[in-house]
Structure formats: structure tokens, C-alpha cells
Amino acid sequence: MSGTMDGRADSSGRVYQASGDQHIIEHHHHGEARSVAWAGIESVRQPTGGRAPMVLRDRTELMERLRAAVAPGVSNQVYVLHGMGGCGKTAVARTVFQLATTEGNRVGLWVNAADRTSLRSGMLAVAADRGATEGELSAARNGLRAPADLVWERLGESERPWLLVLDNADDPEILQDGGWLRASPRGTVLVTTRRAAVQWWPHAELHHVGVLPREAAAQVLCDLAPETGTMEEAAEIADRLGRLPLALTLAGGFLSHQVIDPWTMTKYGRHLDGQGRVDLIDQGATPLAREDARHLITRTWQLSLDALTTQGVHESTALLRLLACYGADPLPLTLLNDPQINSVVPRPRAEVALRGLLDQSLTTVVDAGVRCVQTHAVLLASVMAGTPREQVAQLTSTAALLLDAAVPAIPQRGPQDLRMSLLAPHVLGLLHHATDASVVAGALDVAVRLACALHRTGDYLSARELASAAAAITEPKLGPEHRLVLSAHARTGRALFRLGRFEESEAILRQVLADRERLFGPDHPDTLDSYFGINHPLQQLGRAAEGITLLQRATDGRERVLGKGHPLTLQSRAHLLEFLPIAELAVEVDGTATPLPQECAIHLGPDHAVTLGSRLSYAFALVRLGRFEAAVEDARRVAEDYERCHGPDYAHTLSAQLLYARARAALGDMDSAVELMAVVARRREQSLGAEHPYTARSYELLEEMRAKAAGQSTD
């Protein structure tokens, strides 16, 4: 290059020429310094997230609080709406925004805070709206001035009060790192987020946004698709959708946009039964101009999982997929504290993974009598639908092993265990999801044991529902002749007996007995169990001889196959004392050197359930033989022990008290007998219902005793 000037400039242009390295910075400010609109985003004066609800249903208490937050003269506060994706946080914020700008005479400012770029652009646009000059904005954009300071300086100098909404603030770190979240005496800040931890929102007032009540959820569907069904039909669909606002909005959108072949809510409900129900829900998003992950059931929660992965907590995805193998009811947290979880999530990392899910509002800890974790049904269905098929077998296998560890191998009689009741819907959820035959069989084995455990605590209705549902789910997967499927049917029949439905019980147990004899032979333990179990309904249906024959067959077979001291053998012998003809009973009672209760205590211990049951059966045998002096003391003691061990409303406690009342009546102590019998009748009515045959029989005995007591008084 020569030493002369080679370049030329026209008008206001400039030419720089140098022989060495030079670094030149220029700042250009043309025209008058004035406020300009920031062109980085379309608008901060209108909400840009979600869809405006036709009518905001329910949220009454929350809206009262937020209405007060944007009343004239109220400022200098930050409010945080937190909850799972799709629960309607943005809809609430939109409604508050509308109130603030119309009734509250505030400037409404709306910023998408989903990521750093959107937040920064939006907040600088807020600064421009509130009077920042082009030079100030340029300096902030180029790093020559702290952008957050500029924004809050302009907000603090605003002539009009304002409401600033920071929507989708699911990454609170970016708010904290940049100093973007502050309070101001000139306005109010409203944040929507999935992040629930208090640590992210110091000095803010937090409000949880959850699912809608049933009636409000049904009304949302009727608002969106008014001609497609009744309120009751809408309520049923709302229940199926877990009353989640996003799911309701999508369902209503689908129903309202069917033109060629309009659907009713009833037809929509039928299609929700299929495996693709989550995809069906998302079809309601097709009228949207653009696809946004936050507007789709199948994708909205992936945003939270992606955020956790970015934070280094990838185990949260695995844990959520494991939870998706279960149901949407409260799940005891102790289930996750087992070494079996290592195959999905390393046990030391399970705590971190769960905290991540809680922080992102993907699940929540609830108190259902025991500490539980609960996850929304639609979220679980979405996660399961998106789980790679090759991972499902491992996940369901681990889920089955965790349940297996939680349910006793041999359930014992005792007071109700809330944890067992809470596990029932999760066993059924797992049976629905499992496809591998070995996993299905393992989960069904857990279901049968759990039904037995519920039965032995006196929760016969839950036992029947669990066993019946488990059999219905697994019979198509394993076949009707699978041993565990038959066991589930047998448990159904045993529970039906306790519920007083003797004919149904006998029909089911007879079919199971026939199948077991044909498939396994007469000496198989399952077949012997059927001989034992069917005796009970047969006795109540007036077929005592057949029942005794089968019970004797069970007793002989168990002694031969299992041994004389086996608990099931001793149990069968005890039950014979209640049903043998009087002549044979006398031989059984008097012909043994060691009474059966003592023999049970020798083999099993004095507190074993079979020992306690044998004492009740033996006392009943003494009553049948007319040996009331001996029977009354035995009956009193066993009644006291049952009440101490199992509570006053337990079925065997009431049976023992009834026997004690009968023995006292036989000895002429009618006042005590009537008093005891009145308690038994009342408690049976409370626990079994007024229509149960045992309740009716108790009141019959009570009236008989009262009549005898009245006869004694007249004598």
C-alpha cells in the first residue's frame, strides 16, 4: 500500500487507513435522544403464552388474592404461581393481567421467561416501553450497562403503576443470576413456574395451582364443546383426564372442531380407553397456528425433564418412567427405598432424582396417612407412551420387584395396614402396563398376596376388588388355566363369602376347584386350599354334609402332604371343630390327650394367628357340646385377645364376643348376654352393613336374648 490516501468518502461517510493493526470502536447516536420501541419481540403489552380461557373456572380463592394484589395502591410484592405443566398457571396469569389493565388501570407487561434469550429480550422491551432511550438500550445490549439495572430503573420511574408477568419461569437460576427478579414500589410482579422449591423464590408469596374440581372441570368442557354432551358426561370425561386444564382444553378443542363426523363426549370417552389416548388428547391442538411443546400433552413435560438433564439429574427421567409403571394414586415413599431400585436408578441417586421431579412439579409429596409421592394420571400416561419399548420390560420388572419386597410373603392377620391399601391400585397399574409373561406372573403373585393381606385385616371389599380386577387383567395375558390366575379367582371367592354373597362365592370357588383338580390333581396344595375354602359358603347355603366332606378331605390331604404340624393342617383341624356332627365332635374333643389349642401353641407359638383361631373354634365346640361353664371362660379370654391384637371391629373379635354372649346366656346371665350382643350387632352393622347376613343374624340373636331376659324378669 502506498503512503497516499487510496479511499474516498461521500456525504457523512468516513475512511480509515492504517499501516499497522488498529482496533476502532464507534458509537453512533443519530437524531434526537428519545424513547423507541424495542423490535426484538412482537409485544410486551399482550400475553403471549398459552390460550386465553373462555371463562376461568374455579380458582376462586386464588383469584380473590390476586385481584387484591393488583388493586389501586398495592405494589412492591412478587407473587409466584407454581404447579405442574398444563395445570393452568398461564390462564390464571392472563386473567389477572386482564383485570389489572382494565379494572386496575395498570400498565400490563408480559415477558416470556422460558430461557435467557427470551427473558433478556422481553425485559429490555419492558425498559423501552417504560421510557428507556435508544442509547441506553444499545449500551445494555452491548454489555456496556447492566441490563437488569436499566429495566428496574425504568420500572421504578414509571408514571403509571404496572403488572409485570414473567411467564414460564421454569429456570429460576437465570432470574437470580441476572438480577432480573425484584420488587418495586411502582408495581406488582407475577411469576408462573413449574419450580416449586421455596429456595428459588425468596421474599415472594407462593400459590400452588393444581387440577380443577370436578364440576368446574366439566364446565370447561361444556364451555368449549357445548353441543357434544351433558354436564354429567363432561364430568366423566374430566375425571378420565384427571381434571387437568390443558387436557380439558385439548379435549374440548378436539370435540368442537369435528365437522365431517362430529363426536359426542360419550364417543370421545370410549376412545380414551385405548393405548393411544394421549395422542388422542393432543389432536385437540391441531387448530393452533403453530405447534408449541407447552400446548401438547405428549411434549409439555419433556421440557422439565430436559431441564433436569441439563442440570445433571438425568436419573429423574428414569425415576419418572418407573413411577409411570404404577398408578396415579398416592404411592408410599418407602417403596422407593429398596435395593431393587438400583436396576433403574442407583439407590444413592434416587433421592436426588425425586427432588428434581418435585422441584419441577412433575410429582408431589402428599400425606395419605403415610408419606407418599403422587403423580398426575395424564402425565404418567404421557411418560409411559413416550418410553422406548426396549426399556419397558426392565422398568416393569423393577416395579414388580419393588412391590414384591413391600408385600409380605405370608400375610398375617392383624389390624389394617394403610400401606397395603395404598399399594392396591399400583399393582393393578403395573399389571396393565406389563407385557412380558414373567413380569405379569410376578406382579400377579404380588396382587394375590396383597389381596390376601387385605382380607386378613378385614378389608374384604378391597380384597375382592383387587383380586377380581387382577384376574380380569391377567387372564388374557397368561391364560385362564394359569395357576396364579386361578389363585386370584379363589381370593375373589373367599372375599365374596366374607361380604355375605354366599351364592357368588360358592360358584367361583366351585369352578376354581374343578379347574385345580383337573390341572393339578387332588393332592396339590392349591386343590387342598379349594377343598378348605368352599366349605364356608356351602355351610351357609345349607349344604353342610358336602362342606364337611370337602373340609375333611382338605384336612387329611394337608396332613399327608404338608405334615401334621403345618399351620394349614392345624387350621383345617380347627375348622372341623365347628362343623363336625355332635357325636364325632365329642370324640374329637375328648379323644385327644392334648387339646388342639395347646397343640397349635406347641407347633406355632401362643400368639400365632392359627393358635388364636383354634382357641375360638375350640370354645365354639364346647358350646356345641353344651359345656357352657368351660366355654364361657375360653370365649371371654379369646375375645379379649382378639380385641387386643386386632381391634374391636375385627370380624373374629366380634365372632368371639358373640360366642361369649351365647355362653353367658346359656348360663342364665341374660343381662350381660344382651349387653354384649347389642355391641356385636351394632359393630357388625357398622363394619359389614345392615344387609349383611351376619348383621341380620346378630340382631335376631339379640331379640331372642331380650325376649328370654324379659321372660326371666316376669318370672
- List the CATH number of the domain containing 390: 1.10.10
Q: Model-level pTM?
A: 0.74
- Asked, for residue 557, whether it belongs to a domain, the answer is no
Check residue 304 and give its pLDDT: 76
- Asked, for residue 392, whether it belongs to a domain, the answer is yes
CATH number at residue 155: 3.40.50.300
Please compute, for residue 105, the number of CA atoms within 13 A of its CA located in the half-sphere on the CB side. Answer: 5
Count: domains in the chain: 3
> In 257-296, which ranges are continuous DSSP H helix?
265-271, 277-282
C-alpha cell recorded at residue 370 = 403415610
- Asked, for residue 479, whether it belongs to a domain, the answer is no
Q: What are phi and psi of 510, to 5 degrees?
A: -70, -40
Provide the 10 A C-beta neighbour count for residue 104.
22
- Asked, for residue 49, whether it belongs to a domain, the answer is no
- Asked, for residue 65, whether it belongs to a domain, the answer is yes
Last residue within a domain, chosen from 286, 307, 324: 286
Our CA angle for 353, 358, 362, nearest 5°, is: 100
Are 262 and 318 found together in one domain? Answer: no
Are 69 and 203 found together in one domain? Answer: yes
Are 189 and 259 found together in one domain? Answer: no
Are 196 and 229 found together in one domain? Answer: no
Are 85 and 166 found together in one domain? Answer: yes
Are 251 and 171 found together in one domain? Answer: no
Provide the 10 A C-beta neighbour count for residue 549.
14
Are 198 and 81 found together in one domain? Answer: yes
Asked whether the CA dihedral 48, 51, 54, 58 is positive or negative, the reply is negative
For 347, the domain range is 297-406
Last residue within a domain, chosen from 180, 208, 236: 208
The CA distance from 10 to 31, in Å, is: 20
- Asked, for residue 676, whether it belongs to a domain, the answer is no
pLDDT under 70 in the chain at which residues?
1-42, 49-52, 54, 259, 273-301, 713-715
Give Cα separations from 691 to 18, 680, 700 (angstroms): 105, 15, 13
Last residue within a domain, chosen from 391, 406, 421: 406
Are 143 and 280 found together in one domain? Answer: no
Please compute, for residue 432, the number of CA atoms within 13 A of its CA located in the half-sphere on the CB side. Answer: 19
The full DSSP string for 291-354 is --GGG-HHHHHHHHHHHHHHTT-THHHHHHHHHTTS-SS-EEGGGGSSGGGGGTS-HHHHHHHH
The two beta strands, 331-332 and 364-367, are: unpaired
What 8-state DSSP symbol labels residue 285? G
Amino acid at 227: E
Are 85 and 198 found together in one domain? Answer: yes
- Asked, for residue 122, whether it belongs to a domain, the answer is yes
Are 198 and 242 found together in one domain? Answer: no
Residue 191's closest CA among 70, 76, 45, 80? 80
Check residue 114 and give its pLDDT: 83
Burial class of residue 478, CB neighbours in 10 A (0-12, 13-18, 19+): middle
Check residue 52 and give its pLDDT: 65
- Asked, for residue 175, whether it belongs to a domain, the answer is yes
Provide the 10 A C-beta neighbour count for residue 162.
24
Check residue 31 and give its pLDDT: 36
Q: What are phi and psi of 116, to 5 degrees?
A: -65, -40
The two beta strands, 331-332 and 371-374, are: antiparallel
Are 175 and 72 found together in one domain? Answer: yes
The full DSSP string for 528-573 is HHHHHHHHHHHHHTT-HHHHHHHHHHHHHHHHHHT-TTSHHHHHHH
The CA distance from 702 to 680, in Å, is: 9
Provide the 10 A C-beta neighbour count for residue 69.
21
Are 311 and 244 found together in one domain? Answer: no
